[in-house]
Amino acid sequence: MVSRLSCANFNMPLDNLADNFIHCIYMDVVSHLKLNETPFRISPDPRFLFLSDQVREAIAKCEYMTRNRIGPLYIYGPIGSGKTSILRRLHETLRDDPEYRVSMLIAANIKTSNAFLRIIMEEFGVKTARAYDRSLRNFEEFLIEQYEAGIVPILLIDEAQNMGRDTLRLIHYLLNFETAKAKLLQIVLVGQEELASRILRYRELASRMFPIAINAMSPDELQRMIEFRWMVAGGTTPPLSPDAYEALFAFTKGLPRDAVKLCDEALRHIVANNHDVVSSADIEVTASSLNLTR
Ligand SMILES: Nc1ncnc2c1ncn2[C@@H]1O[C@H](COP(=O)(O)OP(=O)(O)O)[C@@H](O)[C@H]1O
Ligand SMILES: [Mg+2]
């Protein structure tokens, strides 16, 4: 095993030393397992997105509905089930296409429709006015111009479970911008399960929007997701025993974020202990260090 501190410079400040130390542990795992990069980072990197049936269907549905200006959608599901990853993939696919004008924002701490409208307009590069009504008119004019130029503006909003009645009312209002044939603005809201109950309580909005539920993965999907990520990182077969996969599912209930976190920790654990394969016992020990329970 490569000495963990061999690449740290002892003259550097403490913060840098800590960064360097973490970097060295990663390097250890990556080189020990003969990979090009770490397979289990929890950032939603679209390259590592495994297209399970539900992920593939969700992306296809969003693309179809937005491309054809059919309808506003909302995607909801548990924390760590892959919603933001889906949204990023969609953003990546549409943003390079000149027929679309895509804006993605996070709905945290935006309390009023006024503040929210300003943020949306800034995202699209539209001038705001002092008066709310005037801003709305500017935005509508912009949407009509885009329509006439054959461009589809798309608004992607993550963490939409944070949206209150006032900001949802703005969404409802924006959905009324339409011609006889098509909606002028395409909207995809993404959030935790609470988003669905909020929309369902707001009946006029619910009747206009199409829901997509994202669920935890099945044991088979979870294993294929791990195998896929391993291959993206430059490996062939991940070093997990069959019972390690079973334990992985039991501790994560099929939620990809927890599974990625657990695998990342388990790899460091086996490298530090000089094991070649992750066993169910390694998963047990690691899960307990992460406070995950069966
Ligand atoms: N389909 C998937 N394939 C590969 N990794 C995934 C998948 N879904 C989720 N992940 C992993 O789980 C993490 C959490 O996913 P994220 O999209 O942030 O979940 P959510 O937004 O539902 O809380 C991602 O950063 C990614 O590492
Ligand atoms: Mg998210």
Confidence category of residue 45, pLDDT binned at 50, 70, 90: confident
In a domain, residue 71? The reply is: yes
User: CATH number for the domain including 263?
Assistant: 1.10.8.60
In a domain, residue 24? The reply is: no
d(CA 51, CA 39): 16
Q: Are 81 and 216 in contact (CB under 8 A)?
A: yes
What phi and psi, each to the nearest 5 degrees, are found at residue 211? -90, 150
67 and 208 in a single domain? The answer is yes
Domain range holding 255?
33-42+217-289
User: Is the pLDDT reported for residue 185 higher than 70?
Assistant: yes
180 and 59 in a single domain? The answer is yes
Confidence category of residue 22, pLDDT binned at 50, 70, 90: low
185 and 259 in a single domain? The answer is no
185 and 221 in a single domain? The answer is no
Domain total of the chain: 2
Strand, coil or helix: 102: strand
85 and 157 in a single domain? The answer is yes
Point out the domain boundary residue: 213, 248, 263. Answer: 213
pTM to 2 decimals? 0.89
Provide the pLDDT for residue 31: 87
d(CA 260, CA 227): 11
In a domain, residue 281? The reply is: yes
130 and 204 in a single domain? The answer is yes
Provide the pLDDT for residue 181: 83
Q: According to DSSP H, which parts of 101-218 are helical?
A: 113-124, 132-148, 165-175, 193-201, 203-208
**Range 24-29 contact pairs with CB under 8 angstroms and sequence separation of 24 or more:** 25/268, 27/2, 28/1, 28/2, 28/4, 28/271, 29/267, 29/268, 29/271
89 and 223 in a single domain? The answer is no
95: which 2 tokens?
Answer: 């943003």
- Is 94's C-beta closer than 6 angstroms to any atom of ligand 1? no
Confidence category of residue 7, pLDDT binned at 50, 70, 90: very low
Provide the pLDDT for residue 44: 81
pLDDT in tens, 87-103: 999 999 999 899 999 99
271 and 239 in a single domain? The answer is yes
- Is 80's C-beta closer than 6 angstroms to any atom of ligand 1? yes
Question: Whose C-alpha lies nearest to ligand 1, atom 24?
Answer: 44
Instruction: Write the DSSP assignment of 258-288 as a string of letters.
Output: HHHHHHHHHHHHHHHTT-SSB-HHHHHHHHH
d(CA 263, CA 42): 10
In a domain, residue 7? The reply is: no
Provide the pLDDT for residue 180: 80
Averaged confidence pLDDT in the chain:
91
Question: Whose C-alpha lies nearest to ligand 1, atom 7?
Answer: 82
In a domain, residue 276? The reply is: yes
Q: Which atom of ligand 1 is nearest to the CA of 81?
A: 22
208 and 224 in a single domain? The answer is no
Q: Which atom of ligand 1 is nearest to the CA of 77?
A: 22
Question: Whose C-alpha lies nearest to ligand 1, atom 11?
Answer: 257
In a domain, residue 201? The reply is: yes
Residue predicted with more confidence, 4 or 120: 120
Provide the pLDDT for residue 20: 56
75 and 158 in a single domain? The answer is yes
Q: Are 188 and 66 in contact (CB under 8 A)?
A: yes
Pocket probe mutation, ligand 1, options 40, 190, 260, 264, max atoms within 8 Å of Cβ: 260
Rounded to the nearest angstrom, the distance between the alpha carbon of 259 and the centre of ligand 1 is: 10
Point out the domain boundary residue: 177, 195, 213. Answer: 213
Provide the pLDDT for residue 110: 84
pLDDT in tens, 186-217: 999 999 999 999 999 999 999 999 999 999 99
| Ligand with an atom nearest the CA of residue 80 | 1
Question: Whose C-alpha lies nearest to ligand 1, atom 9?
Answer: 82
Q: Which of 10-14, 169-173, 179-183 has the lowest mean pLDDT?
A: 10-14
185 and 105 in a single domain? The answer is yes
Provide the pLDDT for residue 225: 98
Pocket probe mutation, ligand 1, options 248, 253, 257, max atoms within 8 Å of Cβ: 257
Confidence category of residue 4, pLDDT binned at 50, 70, 90: very low
User: CATH number for the domain including 70?
Assistant: 3.40.50.300
72 and 135 in a single domain? The answer is yes
Point out the domain boundary residue: 163, 184, 213. Answer: 213
pLDDT in tens, 264-284: 999 999 998 989 999 999 999
In a domain, residue 142? The reply is: yes
Measure the CA angle with vertex 117, ends 45 and 86; round to 5°: 20
In a domain, residue 99? The reply is: yes
Mean pLDDT (whole number) for 27-38 = 86
Provide the pLDDT for residue 158: 97
Enumerate residues with CB within 5 Å of ligand 2 (an ion): 84
